[in-house]
Each structure stands twice: as structure tokens, then as C-alpha cells.
């Protein structure tokens, strides 16, 4: 446990949850002169932050901040002020200014595909450690192994929290403000078990139904199991709900033993999960070659067969499919891979073309919170002031990060929302006795 002197003359702020948004909120509040206690129920800080971007920590995205809102599925208008108060450029500058480990070396970042911003020669664990050290250096007292069980409220004003330690001792902590930054329910082994939702609900907040988001999808049949491990870059997937075309997206996909995953599927999963929850019929069709239309593929087939008519069907497929997919394709089309190209009928070539352009899978379900990257649903943002992150129901109660009904596509947008709402909550709670004027800057990249 960190032992840091807490000024008796400062505002006393309690932050619940030492994840991305909680560490940011705590450090900002302490930097404004508040006495801050950051309560974490596990012994580890920023564990989920360490896991983001497959452990590489995709902190934000280079999309112009004015266009960020279109990447959020809910509450995009609610986030606008927070995102402009602490932008993606602010986020990069902030982390570049953090010390790295025990050396004076600083983090550096670079842009990868689709605008993702990741650290150079570093990882999520180092980012997480640096963020926690920064918070401590600002004066934050981090208290691990403490679980908050109750918000103390009097006359619709926050007074502190009640908690239990690892020995089941009940503790009461007084606070002028409390920031709930407990995360969602995804990856519960990291400590994200939805505690913040119950705390918010207990003082009158509404909770939008919780469901897994950015989650792999399950499909019927054994086709994906036979293709397990095959990765397809930049394919196009069309989502069909009750036989009606819902949307189309392009990206990377991977087959699994239970269905499909990869960035493309994760970004579609929000809509698939909601459709399945209403008992809708859901299918996806995969276009392996979105840059080629049917006539172009047909001409390619004809040209290749004219030149290589005595080659085998397998030789044609090598031009279009990963090796592991070739045998499965032959089985699905009921065409022998050893069949001579000049023996293929027009109907067989049409079946191949349709399979390459619209490989269809019936969706049967989705994976659990254990495998979901984020949570959809949470504290209703209509009950939170977007300019301060303060509750409209309980004065002095603030929210940050995934505890709110906020979720976005992959690519750094969810972490940026965590940092932005954490920054705004930490800033606002120290100014709540004054007219609040959060500057709005144009920091578009």
C-alpha cells in the first residue's frame, strides 16, 4: 500500500477502480490539489489496460477528433465534450511525457493500420505501470484489496463510501466527491465484475442492459471448425437480420472452432448480439474478393482455364484461397480437386464464384463476457452531465470509463473514451464548488 500524506485542507476525492479511467481521473484530481484515494479491489493496477491491443496498448486513434463520434455505438453526443476536452492528440502528448520505468527514457508512439496509435518498442504493461506511477507522483494514495460495497449519500449529496478489506473488516471513508471508474463486465478475471453498476443503481441511477461487445461470434455447422485458424485479410462481410440486409463492413476475419472472430467480426458483433437478443434470425455472408465483381472473376476463370486447361482444379484454387481452405472449398462445392480444368462445367464454375463472393454462415450465438473486449450498456448517460461527468441525481458523484453506457469500434476509441471521461471527471470534481468552465479546444490531428 502506498503511504502518501493526505492534506486535511484539500477536497477529499475517492476514486473507485484503478483502471485506465480511474488512474487518469485520480491523477488529474490530485494534480489540482485534491487529496485523492484510489480504491482498487484487486492487488494489481491497470490490468485490463495492460491487455488492450493484444498486450500492445492501442491508446487512441488518429481519426480527426471531430469525426470520433461516428465510431461510437451509443452516447456519441454525450461524449463530444469529453473528447474535445482531452483529445487524441492530448492523449498522445500525455503518454509521451510519462517516464518509462526507472530510466528517463520516454514513450514514443506511431500510427499503424486504420489509424491505430501504439507505443514503439513497448507494451501495455509498461504503459499501465507508468500511468500508475504518474498518479502516485501527483499525490494519489492507491489502496488495493479494498471492495466498495456502498455509497454514502445524504440529502442527494455524496458523503463517501463504505468498503470491506481482504479480512472482511468494514471501513467507512469520507469524501467530498466519489468517481466510479470500475469498468464493465468484460474479462471478469481482471476484476471487472460490474460492481459500479450496482453502486450506481443503489442511489437511483438507471442501468442500460448489459451485454458483451467486441465479442467473437458462434455459427452453426462445422465449416468454421474445419477452417479453424485461417485468417482472411480485407474481406467484406454483409450482415443479414431476418433476411434483410443490415450493413456491410470490410476488414480482417479469422475462423475459429466455434465460429468467427477478428477485428471485422468484433465491430459487427454489437449489432449481432442485439439482434440475437430479440430472437432475430441472423446470417453473415463473406465476400473474399470485394474488389472484384462477378463478371471480373468469371473473366479471370475463363482466362486461366484457356491457358492452363490441363491443370487440376486445385491449381485454380491456389490463386484465390489459403492452402487450408482449398480442400474445404472442394468438399463444400462437391468438386474433386483432381478434376481437370477443361472438364469443369459452367455450373461448377458458377458455384465456385458464388462461394468466393458470398460464403454464408448462420449465426447461432456469441461468446461470453469472459471473451468480450468491452461491455455494451451501463449507467444511462441521460442521467450524467456531459460537461462534468457528474451525476444529475447525486451531487458529488461522478462517472468515468466503461461504467457508463459507452462502447465503440476497435482501434483505440474505447480507451480514448476512458481517458477523456477520466480526465474530465478528475478535473470537474475539484471545481464543483465553482462555476465550471471546461475549455473546448480544436486539437484535431
Rounded CA-CA distance 181/19 in Å is 7
| Strand-pair category, 170-174 with 157-165 | antiparallel
Residue 337 pLDDT class (50, 70, 90 cuts): very high
Rounded CA-CA distance 385/408 in Å is 20
Considering only the C-alpha atoms of the chain, give the largest distance between any 2 of them, rounded to a whole number of Å: 89
Helix (H, G, I), strand (E, B) or coil at 232: strand
* Element (DSSP H or E) covering residue 61: strand 60-61
| Segment 27-81, tens digit of pLDDT | 999 999 999 999 999 998 888 888 887 888 999 999 999 999 899 997 889 999 9
pLDDT at residue 432 tops 80? no
Q: Can you give the pLDDT at residue 45?
A: 86
Residue with cell 488529474: 28
Residue with cell 480511474: 22
pLDDT: is 302 or 187 the higher one? 302
Residue 436 pLDDT class (50, 70, 90 cuts): very low
Q: Can you give the pLDDT at residue 2?
A: 26
- Phi, psi dihedrals of residue 224, rounded to the nearest 5°: -70, -30
| Segment 163-220, tens digit of pLDDT | 999 999 999 999 999 999 999 998 887 777 889 999 999 999 999 999 999 999 999 9
Q: Can you give the pLDDT at residue 46?
A: 85
**Domain boundaries for CATH 3.50.50.60 within the chain:** 12-212+374-429
**Domain boundaries for CATH 1.10.8 within the chain:** 216-367
pLDDT at residue 150 tops 60? yes
CATH match for 216-367 among 3.30.379, 1.10.1760, 1.10.8, 1.10.10: 1.10.8
Rounded CA-CA distance 186/418 in Å is 15
Any bridge partners for residue 173, and if so which?
161
Rounded CA-CA distance 404/17 in Å is 13
53 within 8 A of 415, measured Cβ to Cβ: no
- What is the 3 state secondary structure string of 349-417? HHHHHHHHHCEEEEEEEECCCCCCCEEEEEECHHHECCCCCEECCCECEEECHHHECCCECCCCHHHHH
| Segment 2-26, tens digit of pLDDT | 223 344 447 999 999 999 999 999 9
376 within 8 A of 321, measured Cβ to Cβ: no
Cell of 420: 477523456
The topology (CATH level 3) of 12-212+374-429 is: FAD/NAD(P)-binding domain (3.50.50)
Instruction: List the one residue out of 445, 277, 296 whose CA is nearest residue 356.
Output: 296
Rounded CA-CA distance 370/187 in Å is 5
Task: Cite the beta strand spans of 155-302 per DSSP E.
Answer: 157-165, 170-174, 177-180, 207-213, 217-219, 231-241, 244-255, 259-261, 282-287
Instruction: Give the sign of the dihedral formed by CA 374, CA 376, CA 379, CA 385.
Output: positive
Cell of 79: 461524449
Q: How many helices and strands (H and E) does the chain possess?
A: 13, 21
Rounded CA-CA distance 124/55 in Å is 5
| Segment 391-428, tens digit of pLDDT | 999 999 999 999 999 999 999 999 999 999 999 999 99
Q: Can you give the pLDDT at residue 367?
A: 97
pLDDT at residue 285 tops 70? yes
pLDDT exceeding 70 applies to what percent of the chain? 93
Q: Can you give the pLDDT at residue 96?
A: 93
Using the CB atoms, write b or e for 278-315: b if 16+ within 10 Å.
eebebbbbbbbbeebeeeebeebbeeebeeeeeebbbe
What pTM did the predictor assign? 0.90
Amino acid at each position: 500500500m502506498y503511504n502518501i500524506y493526505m492534506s486535511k485542507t484539500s477536497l477529499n476525492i475517492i476514486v473507485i477502480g484503478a483502471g485506465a479511467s480511474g488512474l487518469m481521473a485520480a491523477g488529474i484530481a490530485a494534480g489540482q490539489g485534491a487529496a485523492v484515494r484510489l480504491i482498487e479491489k484487486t492487488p494489481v493496477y491497470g490490468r485490463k489496460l495492460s491487455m488492450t491491443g493484444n498486450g500492445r496498448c492501442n491508446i487512441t486513434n488518429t481519426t480527426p477528433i471531430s469525426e470520433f463520434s461516428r465510431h461510437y455505438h451509443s452516447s456519441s453526443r454525450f461524449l463530444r465534450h469529453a473528447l474535445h476536452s482531452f483529445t487524441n492528440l492530448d492523449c498522445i502528448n500525455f503518454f509521451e511525457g510519462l517516464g518509462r520505468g526507472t530510466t528517463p527514457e520516454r514513450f514514443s508512439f506511431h500510427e499503424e493500420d486504420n489509424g491505430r496509435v501504439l507505443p514503439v518498442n513497448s507494451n501495455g504493461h509498461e504503459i499501465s505501470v507508468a500511468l500508475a506511477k504518474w498518479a502516485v507522483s501527483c499525490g494519489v494514495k492507491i489502496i488495493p484489496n479494498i471492495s466498495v460495497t456502498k455509497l454514502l449519500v445524504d440529502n442527494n449529496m455524496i458523503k463517501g463510501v463504505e468498503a470491506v478489506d481482504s479480512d472482511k473488516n468494514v471501513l467507512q471513508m469520507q469524501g467530498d466527491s466519489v468517481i466510479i471508474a470500475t469498468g464493465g463486465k468484460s474479462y471478469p478475471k481482471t476484476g471487472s465484475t460490474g460492481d459500479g453498476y450496482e453502486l450506481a443503481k443503489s442511489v437511483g441511477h438507471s442501468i442500460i442492459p448489459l451485454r458483451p461487445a467486441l465479442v467473437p461470434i458462434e455459427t452453426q455447422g462445422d465449416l468454421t471448425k474445419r477452417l479453424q485458424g485461417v485468417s482472411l485479410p480485407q474481406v467484406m462481410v454483409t450482415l443479414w437480420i431476418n433476411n434483410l440486409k443490415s450493413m456491410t463492413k470490410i476488414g480482417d476475419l479469422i475462423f475459429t472452432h466455434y465460429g468467427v472472430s477478428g477485428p471485422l467480426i468484433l465491430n459487427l458483433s454489437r449489432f449481432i448480439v442485439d439482434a440475437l437478443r430479440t430472437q432475430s434470425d441472423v446470417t453473415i455472408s463473406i465476400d473474399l474478393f470485394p474488389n472484384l465483381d462477378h463478371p471480373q472473376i468469371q473473366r479471370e476463370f475463363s482466362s486461366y482455364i484457356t491457358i492452363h486447361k490441363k491443370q487440376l482444379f486445385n491449381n485454380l484454387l491456389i490463386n484465390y484461397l489459403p492452402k487450408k481452405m482449398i480442400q474445404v472449398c472442394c468438399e463444400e462445392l462437391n468438386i474433386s480437386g483432381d478434376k481437370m480444368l477443361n472438364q469443369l462445367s459452367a455450373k461448377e464454375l458458377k458455384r465456385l464464384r458464388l462461394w468466393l463472393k458470398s460464403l454464408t454462415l448462420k449465426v447461432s450465438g456469441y461468446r461470453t463476457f469472459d471473451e468480450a473486449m468491452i461491455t455494451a450498456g451501463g449507467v444511462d448517460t441521460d442521467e450524467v452531465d456531459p460537461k462534468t461527468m457528474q451525476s444529475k441525481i447525486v451531487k458529488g458523484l461522478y462517472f468515468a470509463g466503461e461504467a457508463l453506457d459507452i462502447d465503440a469500434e476497435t482501434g483505440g476509441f474505447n480507451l480514448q473514451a476512458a481517458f477523456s471521461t477520466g480526465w474530465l471527471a478528475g478535473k470537474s470534481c475539484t471545481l464543483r464548488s465553482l462555476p465550471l468552465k471546461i475549455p473546448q479546444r480544436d486539437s484535431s490531428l
